[in-house]
Structure 1
Amino acid sequence: MASSLDPPNSPPNPSFAIRGTHNNKFLRSISTNEASFSGIPCTPPRLASPSLSPCLHSSQPSSPRLSFATTSKLDDLHTTYRCISSVLKKDGRILSIAASNGLVYTGSESNIVRVWKLPEFTECGQLKTKASMVVALEVSNDRVYAAYADCKIRVWRRTWEGVTKHVRLATIPRTGSYVRSYIAGKDKMMKHMGPISSLAINVSDDILYSASLDKTVKVWQISDLKCIETIQAHSEPINAIAVSDDGVLYTASDDATVRVWRRNFCNGDRPHSLTVTLPAKCSPVKTLTLTADGGVLYGGCTDGYIHYWLKGWFSGQLQYGGALQGHTHAVMCLASVANFVISGSADSTSRVWVREQDGQHMCLAVLQGHRGPIRCVVAFSGRVAEESEEGLTVCTGSLDGVLKVWRVKCSSNTGRSSTQNGCEYFELK
């Protein structure tokens, strides 16, 4: 177990070799500032600066306000972390991850969604289809939604009859609906015309959202799995979406903006209306996450910055808060739990940030060990097994095909005698 208070002097070499030859773009849209996914070494991004091409918005400061706590605060905290599990399967690159009710779901280039049981992190099930490449996962209540490279979403129902089982329910869109809408010349019921990049669920309204590189967001009614709206959301591919408990939808795009949408039930066929457009320093936004209360929205960009916005008095109203700087390459995934934010990057590291009551942020730990860009991350807090102290559990999936589980603990600085537990790769048959 090691003390990790300061970033390393230099990040690991992000260049790597992908097993096999794959020529696809189902990993969110590719930009020049991201890692090359064909084995070519990454080139450091240009950090945002006023010299970049001007944005069309003036509400954001000319340069990011970096949000860090003072050195004295860092000295008062002692962070320890260790890798408790590292699993390599023959599934190719890990592309998606989700967690719910003590289970973790992982999707990869194969046709298998693997199910892992916590806290021991043992594989306890598989969801198989004829389609391959699971590009996005979402879990809500007893249902699992998986988006595949064929631009369709498969749905399973989870049961708890003695042992955990998953029953396949449907495919979205249904084949019959797709054919009928095609003949009628309507696109509302048709599938996405480009790869799906992200899924989000509005539980209160019984709505499933799917975002795509075709620049649209489709709104699906969960009760009958029908598409009730297609939102022409951005002028460039959409990389991520998030929805808050009050029904506000956030979309992030390669057009370097985050857009905020509100649902108005009086608007007939197109109830979602654009509320505000948030600029992100002219850098494509690849990932989003919301705090549990919806009070802070974080957006990870290709320039390595994590911008964040604070919720105002009214629903959908946001004020720019600042930016977190630490990653040297594109931020590809984000997760939020309690007052922690976890980021995964094309620089092959994951960072754990803590948000203080005064709004400042500190980087508590830099999790190193992956040999390729970190594509997906999920986190949850609490005790694990027989641990006496609460901590943070982080699961990271990488394009190196490895799934890692980390334990991060933060306490008063009473000593620094721990040593990092380096975790070796091992392969499960």
Structure 2
Amino acid sequence: MKFAYRFSNLLGTVYRCGNLNFTCDGNSVISPVGNRVTVFDLKNNRSDTLPLATKYNIKCVGLSPDGRLAIIVDEGGDALLVSLVCRSVLHHFHFKGSVHSISFSPDGRKFVVTKGNIAQMYHAPGKKREFNAFVLDKTYFGPYDETTCIDWTDDSKCFVVGSKDMSTWVFGAERWDNLIYYALGGHKDAIVACFFESNSLDLYSLSQDGALCVWQCDTPPEGLKPKAPRGWKADLLQREKEEEEEEEDEEEGNRETTIRGKAMPAEQEKAGKVKYSRLAKYFLNKEGDFNNLTAAAYHKKIHLLVTGFASGVFHLHELPEFNLIHSLSISDQRVASVAINSSGDWIAFGCSGLGQLLVWEWQSESYVLKQQGHFNSMVSLAYSPDGQYIVTGGDDGKVKVWNTLSGFCFVTFTEHSSGVTGVTFTATGYVIVTSSLDGTVRAFDLHRYRNFRTFTSPRPTQFSCVAVDSSGEIVSAGAQDSFEIFVWSMQTGRLLDVLSGHEGPISGLCFNPMKSILASASWDKTVRLWDMFDSWRTKETLALTSDALAVTFRPDGAELAVATLNSQITFWDPENAVQMGSIEGRHDLKTGRKELDKITAKHSAKGKAFTTLCYSADGQNILAGGMSKFVCLYHVREQILVKRFELSCNLSLDAMEEFLNRRKMTEFGNLALIDQDAGEENGVAVPLPGVRKGDMSSRHFKPEIRVTSLRFSPTGRCWAATSTEGLLIFSLDAQMLFDPFELDTSVTPGRIREALRQREFTRAILMAFRLNERKLAQEVLEAVPQDEIDVVSASLPELYVEKVLEFLAASFEVSRHLEFYLIWTQKLLMSHGQRLKSRAGQLLPVVQFLQKGLQRHLDDVSKLCDWNRYNIQYALAISKQRGVKRTLEPLDTEEDTDTSDDDSLHLLRTAAEEEEEEGMLA
């Protein structure tokens, strides 16, 4: 239960590659992020990552018409059938080849995948449990090159497939007599998208050079005729008909069957085949060859065509007249995917180059969602003191702040001109301090969202780490090149001192949470402790056996942990400078073998080590991560590995497997040495220095899996890690776990409810928390009358106070009974506050968990109160300004009453209109 951390959400990256989809209600966007899928709820402003992962990066996602099922296919051809209702995998399948696109039929009975130069139609999985959910129905041949896109008619009778050989193929989903297949040309480049018109066989085809062809069909969908069966099926049907007609009338039946049998071929000859003719050809691309069409989407009901280009521009056209509605630019990167929601109001764009996801409302020309991850890898992270926010810094020089509840980034600071190396919060939680390779340390204000302090050194230097003391007054940063530690004052921004003594680059800084003592780790195999109050002199020097890579204090300041280059974690007593223990973590790290490594993973692990450390909220455990896909959780006192978490299983990243595939090893060397992906989209392009954009001198590489930073939440309920995959959050999954506390046979739900009926509230609470079922504990606590909370809370044993406080903290996030739980919290803290001080270190996570829930409600309610107060003041000011005084006079007749009512209504209406006009002017 204590270590039941499970993957809960993925932040930091919002789109990687693949196609975007809107859910059926049009309120959520389904976005593939690497080998995971994130659902962005635009109505409730939340993001949620599904608890599943594929082997490679996701190539395409197909959504069923009812929105309950999704088929997720990765680059290797492995497919997952996923239920979006219960968020679980129902079936695994392998398509035996790379799949380019996938699409369900509108009736939900079949789906088509394009693979190589063929299209395969499968029976869609039903609602019943099946041994094989994917059954191949037909395989369609025709194109000579790779197939690229699919679209269905509204009645699911036909579908169209585009190809890189510049042709578009219309296929019948069933056996039609007048349509088997139809090939359309007319383009000079690869087909990017093709769409049927609503309730028609007319279609549009778009090619990469920006050409749009409008095709008209001479046959309506109702004109498609089923093909007559042949062979043994035809003989069987004919025999059945003859037997039925013989029963009615033997002689007449025989004549009719012979006449019908002779007439059928003549009717087939008269029936014409389906024919297409090109009505028009338009050109979307006005900028030449460098602006290829990359993505398109079409809404059939409102006839809206959206096209995205390689330059980041997108156009909105109305078809079939081809009227340009508007043209805008997202960025300078290619638009990789476009999707339109069911109502046609919102358009989603994905840019894989920037990792950007936009949802645009085209009628009001405003953003519904605008999210972008770090362009390069994230380097560092920090939790706010209440656990509501996470700040991340990346190699792209950006500092982003994420809301842990919604999963969205709400502010980005771009003042740094080079990579950010360290981020941290001050104790108040409203100031972020960051260090960068551009030679500056900056402080950002979360109230006004501005950079209010910039700390610099006398001579230019690159800062590798940053730390702020518990009071928030002293800022320190370590230098990579001058081996010095710079200390500034937060109030004045002036440089206070420069601490010299280290003989190698500073790799980590950490302040003691309880005292004003700074610990600095360096590559010179020492950790130095500096006293901030005693003239900044060196208090102690801890000698290590290898280069120090990371240093951190325990939350109570009584212990220091240091990670070194020989994969060891050593624990020190900072007061006496005595080593208290060490952990050998080389075998626990389990590094993988890169594609270009000459030696095995076992030998390459000798050069790998933990590069980031973090104590748990109670200080009993420590998290460690480094150049590996694993994060290790150790018990500090016992010095044993408690649990190992695998951050990713994505084989699209490098150094994921322990052994290389022998098929890649040839007599000429490793196939990975040959840059086969230079012309493809996958991989990350690294242009050579001084090379212009569009030049062929760019290299491609696979990103290597690594963990750059780890942090426990102050509440102790979750921890976060920045890795190549993004910002991964692991939280305690305590919903389905039965974890009783001091349980015996006398504790049952029946006896708990019986104690409630007898108004023995204290006994009922104790029994409920021994059984440790959340719903039962909620029922018992809410059954206590408000006037008896004081007495009941005072009578609780100290051991159970912590459990009740933890339950209250969790209830603040979901319950509506805010005042009732606030009374419980106040009475418990007032009754047991003095006794709980002795266990302040153990209770710190619970108190911070409480503070997180209270702070969130305070922010929400205070905004609402400020808004109401402003409205009331505005209404009072308007009424005083006008000096409107109404006097009600006694009226004699009904007619007078009616007219006065009309006049008063008229006055009220005019006053309301004037208020509205003034409000609009304001």
Q: Any idea what the Cα deviations from partners look like across 1:255-313, whole Å, max 9, x if unmatched?
A: x1111111465773432111111113332111111111112111111100011101326
Q: 2:213 maps to what in 1?
A: 351
* Distance (Å, rounded) in 2 between the aligned partners of 1:281 and 1:427: 34
Q: Does 1:156 align with 2:40?
A: yes
Q: Which residue type is aligned with residue 312 of structure 2?
A: G
Over the residues paired in the alignment, what is the CA RMSD in angstroms? 3.3
Against the structure 1 CA distance between its residues 216 and 361, is the aligned structure 2 distance closer, same or farther, given a 3 Å change threshold? farther
* Distance (Å, rounded) in 2 between the aligned partners of 1:422 and 1:248: 35
Q: Is the 8 A contact 2:195 2:204 kept in 1?
A: yes
Q: 2:162 maps to what in 1?
A: 300
Trace 1:28-43 onto structure 2 (pairs within 5 A): none
Q: 2:315 maps to what in 1?
A: 404
Q: Is the 8 A contact 1:393 1:405 kept in 2?
A: yes
* Distance (Å, rounded) in 2 between the aligned partners of 1:148 and 1:398: 20
SS in 2 for 1:394: strand
Q: 1:362 maps to what in 2?
A: 277
Choose which of 109, 115, 122 in structure 2 pairs with 1:261. 122
SS in 2 for 1:136: coil
Choose which of 217, 231, 242 in structure 1 pairs with 2:103. 242
* Distance (Å, rounded) in 2 between the aligned partners of 1:209 and 1:424: 33
Q: Any idea what the Cα deviations from partners look like across 1:231-254, whole Å, max 9, x if unmatched?
A: 212x32100011111420111012
Q: 1:30 maps to what in 2?
A: none
Q: Is the 8 A contact 1:289 1:336 kept in 2?
A: yes
Against the structure 1 CA distance between its residues 144 and 353, is the aligned structure 2 distance closer, same or farther, given a 3 Å change threshold? farther
Against the structure 1 CA distance between its residues 409 and 267, is the aligned structure 2 distance closer, same or farther, given a 3 Å change threshold? closer
* Distance (Å, rounded) in 1 between the aligned partners of 2:286 and 2:45: 31
Q: Which residue type is aligned with residue 150 of structure 1?
A: G
Against the structure 1 CA distance between its residues 150 and 299, is the aligned structure 2 distance closer, same or farther, given a 3 Å change threshold? same
Choose which of 117, 135, 138 in structure 1 pairs with 2:18. 135
Sequence identity of aligned pairs in percent? 11
SS in 1 for 2:20: strand
Q: Which residue type is aligned with residue 243 of structure 1?
A: F
Q: Which residue type is aligned with residue 180 of structure 2?
A: Y
Q: State TM-score, norm by structure 2.
A: 0.26
* Distance (Å, rounded) in 1 between the aligned partners of 2:326 and 2:133: 50
Q: State TM-score, norm by structure 1.
A: 0.53
Q: Does 1:333 align with 2:188?
A: no
Q: Which residue type is aligned with residue 148 of structure 1?
A: P
Q: Does 1:217 align with 2:83?
A: no
Q: Any idea what the Cα deviations from partners look like across 1:352-390, whole Å, max 9, x if unmatched?
A: 33333263333333232254222221223566xxxxxxx
Trace 1:79-158 onto structure 2 (pairs within 5 A): 130-142=13-25, 143-158=27-42
Against the structure 1 CA distance between its residues 322 and 228, is the aligned structure 2 distance closer, same or farther, given a 3 Å change threshold? same
Against the structure 1 CA distance between its residues 403 and 259, is the aligned structure 2 distance closer, same or farther, given a 3 Å change threshold? same
How far the C-alpha of 1:211 sits from its partner, in A, is 2.5
Q: Is the 8 A contact 2:167 2:191 kept in 1?
A: yes
Q: 1:193 maps to what in 2?
A: 55
SS in 2 for 1:135: coil
SS in 2 for 1:362: strand
Choose which of 379, 392, 412 in structure 1 pairs with 2:298. 379
Q: Is the 8 A contact 1:291 1:297 kept in 2?
A: yes
* Distance (Å, rounded) in 2 between the aligned partners of 1:423 and 1:223: 37
Against the structure 1 CA distance between its residues 354 and 153, is the aligned structure 2 distance closer, same or farther, given a 3 Å change threshold? farther
Q: Any idea what the Cα deviations from partners look like across 1:369-416, whole Å, max 9, x if unmatched?
A: 254222221223566xxxxxxxx3211112221110112345xxxxxx
How far the C-alpha of 1:130 sits from its partner, in A, is 2.4
Q: Any idea what the Cα deviations from partners look like across 1:325-351, whole Å, max 9, x if unmatched?
A: 012121122233313423232223233
Against the structure 1 CA distance between its residues 154 and 296, is the aligned structure 2 distance closer, same or farther, given a 3 Å change threshold? same
Higher helix share: 2
Against the structure 1 CA distance between its residues 275 and 425, is the aligned structure 2 distance closer, same or farther, given a 3 Å change threshold? closer
* Distance (Å, rounded) in 2 between the aligned partners of 1:223 and 1:318: 41
Q: Is the 8 A contact 1:370 1:400 kept in 2?
A: no
Against the structure 1 CA distance between its residues 298 and 370, is the aligned structure 2 distance closer, same or farther, given a 3 Å change threshold? farther
SS in 2 for 1:203: coil
Bigger radius of gyration, 1 or 2?
2
How far the C-alpha of 1:133 sits from its partner, in A, is 3.0
Q: Which has the higher contact order (CA 8 A, sep 6+)?
A: 1
Q: Which residue type is aligned with residue 360 of structure 1?
A: K
Against the structure 1 CA distance between its residues 426 and 249, is the aligned structure 2 distance closer, same or farther, given a 3 Å change threshold? closer
* Distance (Å, rounded) in 2 between the aligned partners of 1:130 and 1:427: 18
Against the structure 1 CA distance between its residues 270 and 360, is the aligned structure 2 distance closer, same or farther, given a 3 Å change threshold? same
* Distance (Å, rounded) in 1 between the aligned partners of 2:325 and 2:130: 57
* Distance (Å, rounded) in 1 between the aligned partners of 2:63 and 2:325: 37
* Distance (Å, rounded) in 2 between the aligned partners of 1:427 and 1:238: 28
* Distance (Å, rounded) in 2 between the aligned partners of 1:259 and 1:356: 27
Q: 1:114 maps to what in 2?
A: none
